[in-house]
Structure formats: structure tokens, C-alpha cells
Amino acid sequence: MTPPDLSVISPLIEKLQAIRGRRAILYASALIESSVPVLYECLRRGGRGDDLDLVLSTNGGTIVAARQVALLLREFAGHVTIVVPHRARSAGTLLCLSADELVLGPLAELGPVDSTMDSRGTPPPDAPQNISAQDILAFRELAQNWFGVDRPEDRLQVLALLATRFFPTSLSSFYRFDKLVREVAAELLTWQLPGQEHADLRDAIVEQLVSGYHTHDFALTRRDVRALGLRVIDATPQTEAASWAVVQAARHAVGVTDPGTGEELAAVIAASDFSAAEVLRRAHPPGPDIRWEIFD
């Protein structure tokens, strides 16, 4: 497959590099394990350097992949800046915590990092497609604040009711995911806010991002992110225009279907000298066939 729109991205990245004076990489993909080797190949071809910009566009992914990407970037650059023209949600926000600094455009949008799990199979009509660990914790608060469930024996009944809706090991999985996201967030923040003098601030940021918002979809603007205590730099008009053009070019490429093969672009990783796309073939039995292709 030769995607017709992918070739326009590299010149736009070159323009951003000229403005910023450092190597730039576009990561417009979910943060998933299969994308990590592709990013590695992109970084390997560019070689190691002092400064690196990662232009990030993602709706999320897995905690493990976010940590892998953060650690991989540090293998190739001493100073990492993450540029967010529009959206870096969920696991994307987790990755942002590892940057030395964040360059955010006016439309930049981060989000909470509370751990979520997808529903298995077809959920009941009244059930959400995915559930956050914070949703489960809120059930106890709901019972207490709305219905006055205060006695210890009543709280045990609340736990028993939860156990009828969730298999006990599912509840323990939520607990472990919650602990994992807190540990990874605290680990990644040590790059942006190093030293014991920032320990209390790191703890406060993690707590707010994990449990401080009432919905996983809450949009954190660059003003919100700065108020949290993260190192935020407003994108200059030149950086804003150039990074926005890079992300928009990727969006125009994603979703393009090859009429001959029926293959569709699902994600893009690119640099000035590198381009790769996640290719989806929906008609492939018994389910969709997804793979990454590198275009030289």
C-alpha cells in the first residue's frame, strides 16, 4: 500500500524543525505496544541527540506503552519536549508527564489518567463500554452521600452488591491498575519535576490527575495544566501553525482507504526522514488484520 497523503508530512516536519531548531517526530497513534518498535526504528535512524520534539496526537492507549515510549525517548535524547497542538488524552497525558517541558497550543487538550477497563463481550443496555476504577470507588461515596449508608454492616452490603456485578478478581484488577497508573505517573514526573523538593508537588499532581475529576473525558486546557504545576510553554504563533499543520496532515492521511486492497490507514509515525503507517484491513477473516508498514 502506498498512501498518497503520507508524503506531505515530512516537509511539514522539516518546517517545524527549522522553526524550533531541533529534531522533531510526529506520533499520531494510540499508545500501544505494537507502535513502540516503529518509534524505535524512527529514533534509531535519526540517531542520538541532545534535544528532541515529539509532536503528540493521541486519544490514549495503555499505561505500559506510555511508559515504554517515555523510556525509549530518553535513550535517544537528553532533553525531550512534547508538543501538543490539539489532543493528548488519557495515556497520552501520562506520557506528557515525562517531558522536560510541554509546548501547548491554544487548542491543546490533556485529560485525567484514571485507569479504565473495557467491558468484555456485549455489555447490558444500561452498562458503559468501559469503566474507570474511580467509577467503582465513587459507588461507595454515592451510597454514603445519597442514601446515608454509614454503618459498617451496610458498607459490607455495598461491597457484596459490587461483587454481584463484578467478579472479585475484576475488582482486584481495577485496584492493581489504579496502583500501576499512580506508580508510573510518579515515576515519569521525576523527569519534569526532579528532586526531593518537588516530591509533594508530584504527589499532588498524580492525585489530581487520577482522582480529581468527575469524568475520564474532562478536557484539561493549557491553563489547567499549568495550574497543576507542570512546566508549560505556550506555543509561539510559528510553532503553533507548523505543529498544527503536521497534525492535520496526519489526520487527512488517517482513514484513507486503498481502493485496490481495501486497506485503511489507522495511525502515523513520521519524521523528516522517516514515515510509517498502521494499516488496517477490515475484511480479513476472522477479524481485522492490523500491521505497521514503514515507507522509505
Reported as a pLDDT band with limits 50, 70 and 90, residue 69 is very high
Report the chain's mean pLDDT, rounded to a whole number: 85
pLDDT the model gives residue 125: 45
Quick check: 20 pLDDT over 60?
Answer: yes
pLDDT digits (tens, 9 = 90+) for 143-202: 565 556 666 655 556 555 555 665 455 556 667 778 889 999 999 999 999 999 999 999
- Reply yes or no on whether the pLDDT at 74 is more than 80: yes
| Residue % of the chain over a pLDDT of 90 | 62
φ, ψ of residue 2 in degrees (nearest 5):
-120, 95
Task: Look up cell 490539539; give the residue.
Answer: 86
Q: Which of 3.30.420, 2.60.120, 3.30.310, 3.90.226 would CATH assign to domain 6-111+219-295?
A: 3.90.226
pLDDT at 126: 47
Which pLDDT belongs to residue 122?
A: 43
Whole-angstrom CA distances from 162 to 120, 140, 153, 166, 287 are 17, 10, 14, 6, 33
Q: How far apart are CA 13 and CA 194, in angstroms?
A: 30
So where are the chain's domains?
A: 6-111+219-295, 120-175
**138-172 residues labelled b (16+ CB within 10 A) or e (exposed):** eeeeebeeeeebeeeeeeeebeeebeeeeeeebbe
Q: What is the predicted pLDDT for the residue at 264?
A: 85
Q: Assess whether pLDDT exceeds 90 at residue 208.
A: yes
Confidence band of 5 (pLDDT split at 50, 70, 90)? low
CB 241 within 8 A of CB 107: no
Q: What is the pLDDT of residue 214?
A: 80
Write down the pLDDT at residue 158.
Answer: 58
Share of the chain above pLDDT 70, in %: 75
Per-residue pLDDT at 240: 98
Residue range 24-28: average pLDDT?
Answer: 98
Pick the more confident residue, 291 or 232: 232
Q: 76-118, pLDDT tens digit by residue?
A: 999 999 999 999 999 999 999 999 999 999 999 999 998 665 5
Whole-number pLDDT of residue 6: 79
pLDDT tens-digit readout, 211-232: 888 888 899 999 999 999 999 9
